[in-house]
A and B are shown apart, each in its own frame.
Chain A
């Protein structure tokens, strides 16, 4: 055993010490011959004869050296070295061809690496926490409804944490990030910052350590203790230039309602690898983490998200079973709980990325299909080139190269090509992932952590090798199997192999067309879904509307708040260019919370009566373009001390008055201490997703309920950049503490909401377009080769009176034949594919006749176009020059 290893090692070392070993051998052989000659001379031979005899007895210096090399090293390696050198030389000579192939391969492989990196980051790689498999996400209300329906009260969280047996620990964070506006003050204008309040055991339970400093102590998590904060890595870099002396320094944070105002001591900096937003709230960039004062939040209803870490050996299902029993028991003990928290437990990984699994797998398949088309295309190019190289290969065969060696040589060329393509593709993928991880247009979880890592490099190597075999094998087998004599004969080159070649190339083109057809139809279905999505009636008009976060000082008093809001709105509306303005606490598709809304007559039934709640000023509905169907908008006459009123949406009206009674003037409960009268009904507004129908919504006057933060919404045709300073200075003149916030176009919020679908659609469409281009190239290549092969025949036929039109038609017929076969196979396969992606479609049937018909026509058209060029060339063949050439 040891012996074998030593020998193998010796051989491997010899592979890489070729030059010195050869030199040794040469000097040995030189001495050998000299000695032999000297001996022959001594025996009395003449000098010439002595030398001749010595060489004869030795038997070929080159062979002996070759033999010795084979014995000492690994012969295959030497062959490979030669092949690579030869391949490089060949490709350099044919650099135009090589460049095209490498570029096509780089596009295909680069896209594959990039998509793999995304899939790997989002689906395959475990979350960057300690033992992420043990982490469990809790969704109350069985995961239905808005944020406040799926979260827990502080009491529920604490009681469950105390009494459960399935979890090592349970932690929570406060989900209503914007209930309290944090501002960084003390450096010029107040700067709005995003703060997340977490339970004291949040970081320890996830297993995240600060890169600098320490985590919160239990003492610091109690209200009234010294205010402390942990900085996110990004905020630390941006705001404090990565100052390592930040620990112990105080920053001024203003978050009035939480009593967290004044100096806050920085106790630590989180590592760059911990990106709270990318896991828990895609698209959000957190600046600081502060302890959640549980006593403060205790009375606020459902506000905390709950995460648990399972004990070793406990499954999610077991934990689920315990939660099913424990929550009702706890509720029985606490008469003041509103609900029994029917919880849906899932692994945290599932919660973060589960929804995306199917989309990403489809993306992965699409890019794989594209790579297959690339392979077939390159294979076709290599075949075409193989024909012109027939003679060269035949010559090598004649000189003694075995078929295996020729195949090896051709596969080596394929490997060199795919290697170069992969290197280029890797660079492209690196750039793509770098850009993706820094953009903020697409709100996919974990996207900010996408990078080309070790796994992606491994994938690249795998692809490079696989691709080389796929595209290199067919041409290698084909080309190397040619008839030696025919190939060597002048003019015979290619002719004899022509038919077989053409059949193989036609098969390749047909499969290319088929695959392109599948990609095109898939992309078409996704594109149509996306267009349907853009056509959705959102219930508001996002164009020319923008929102800016403002601060409303009210001291918790509705009358004061109303007066402040009215004053601000009057001043804002007076700014030239502002068409209308209003305020809300939450924008649709952005954040949400839910309360109850129940008609007085339904108050005692057992159904769930949740409703999304928006606290708004007069003018908000109009500014957003929300359509009032009946009744009136909220007005400034709806004061803090006048009767409670609400505007509801059509869904709420349908639910509470299913008989179709007019809701106007009807009393309801759930939004006000007393009963609230319905004063208006608006068309449904999509609140949590563009794709889901609206649930019940209720709009409450700002004077009659406390808002969760305030957004000033304006409708304007003036560019926001020029409007922003004017609006900000107006706001400052009323409230010097107004933070330096920025306008957000509402259209952008809608854009974010549809961005995952657009991302998928765009990528698949790109892949399909590339596939279509390659397929048309393939058709062009095959048809134009067959035209040049038949040039003589065509010339003779034309000399005998065939018209140019007839010749063209003949060539086009061949194109149509290839396209028709490819398209029928592709369309049939697309039926299956369409069924597979049905759940990803929106408002589109999987077997959509428009898409199927349209894409088939598109493909046929492109195929005809690709075939048309060689057909025209065929019709322009000059019969005379052909005949002269015979």
Chain B
């Protein structure tokens, strides 16, 4: 019953970033981090700083691209947006995740009280 926040699994942050960009359109780093926190209902233990490693990783894979633009408060900011290969990857990963969570859900179904979260 703790308010402990969820430790992110390896690789899930990248997927969240992709999903966020797919849904929200171009965002800068802070925007992405905030969006993820909001969606998770502040359940995710996210050091916002880690978002930048994820962003550079996705960029090098060609799944997102970055452009310099102007932020809401009129400052020079880097905006990230998802690319076509990124969308394809997102679709693949999302399918994979659905299957995995489905499976895990069924595995733990009889003893759902015992599980954390």
**Interface of A with B (CB < 8 Å)?**
3, 6-7, 10-11, 24-25, 27-29, 31-32, 34-36, 38-39, 57-61, 63-65, 67-68, 70-72
Contact = CB atoms under 8 A, between A and B. Distances in A.
Contact of A34 (B47, B57, B75, B78): B75
Interface in B42-92: 47-50, 52-57, 60-62, 71, 73, 75-78
A495 B73 CA distance: 63
Given A11-B60, A28-B78, A60-B47, A67 B53 contact: yes
B30 A7 contact: no
B28 interface: yes
10 contacts: A27-B76, A28-B29, A28-B78, A31-B71, A31-B76, A32-B48, A34-B75, A35-B71, A65-B52, A67-B49
A65 B55 CA distance: 12
Given A27-B76, A28-B29, A31-B28, A64 B56 contact: no
A579 to B, nearest CB: 89
> Which of B28, B30, B34, B54 counts the most chain A CB atoms within 10 A?
B30
Contacts of A67: 49-50, 52-53
B60 A10 contact: yes
B52 A68 contact: yes
B26 to A, nearest CB: 14
Given A3-B62, A10-B60, A25 B47 contact: no
Nearest to B85: A3
Contact of A32 (B30, B62, B73): B30
Contacts of B53: 64, 67-68, 70-72
Closest 9 CB pairs of A and B: A64-B49, A59-B47, A71-B53, A67-B53, A72-B56, A32-B30, A68-B52, A10-B60, A68-B53
Contacts of A58: 47-49
Given A3-B62, A67-B52, A68-B53, A31 B47 contact: no
Q: How large is the interface on B (under 10, 10 to 19, 20 to 34, 35 or more residues)?
A: 20 to 34
B28 A64 contact: no
Contacts of A38: 73
A4 to B, nearest CB: 10
Interface in B4-29: 28-29
Contacts, number: 79
B30 A31 contact: yes
A27 B61 CA distance: 23
Nearest to A10: B60
A7 B28 contact: no
B60 A24 contact: no
A59 B50 contact: yes
A60 B51 CA distance: 12
A58 B30 CA distance: 9
A3 B61 contact: yes
A34 B72 CA distance: 12
A59 to B, nearest CB: 3
Contacts of B60: 6-7, 10-11, 72
A31 B79 CA distance: 12
Contacts of A29: 29, 49, 52
A9 B73 CA distance: 36
Given A31-B71, A64-B47, A67-B49, 6 more contacts: A31-B75, A32-B29, A39-B34, A58-B48, A59-B48, A64-B49
A67 B55 CA distance: 11
A24 B78 contact: yes
Contacts of B50: 59, 64, 67
Contact of B61 (A7, A34, A60): A7
B89 to A, nearest CB: 11
A71 B13 CA distance: 14
Contact of A25 (B28, B52, B62): B52
A31 B77 contact: yes
A71 B51 CA distance: 11
Nearest to B45: A59
Contact of B62 (A6, A31, A39, A68): A6
A36 B28 CA distance: 12
B43 to A, nearest CB: 14
A28 B77 contact: yes
Contacts of A27: 76
> Which of B34, B48, B71, B75 counts the most chain A CB atoms within 10 A?
B48
Nearest to A24: B78
Contacts of A7: 60-61
Contacts of B75: 31, 34
B58 to A, nearest CB: 10
Contacts of B30: 31-32, 35-36
A6 B47 CA distance: 29
A35 B76 CA distance: 12
Contacts of A39: 34
Contacts of B57: 71-72
> Which of B29, B52, B57, B71 counts the most chain A CB atoms within 10 A?
B52
A71 B56 contact: yes
A461 to B, nearest CB: 31
B71 A63 contact: no
A10 B61 CA distance: 9
B77 A63 contact: no
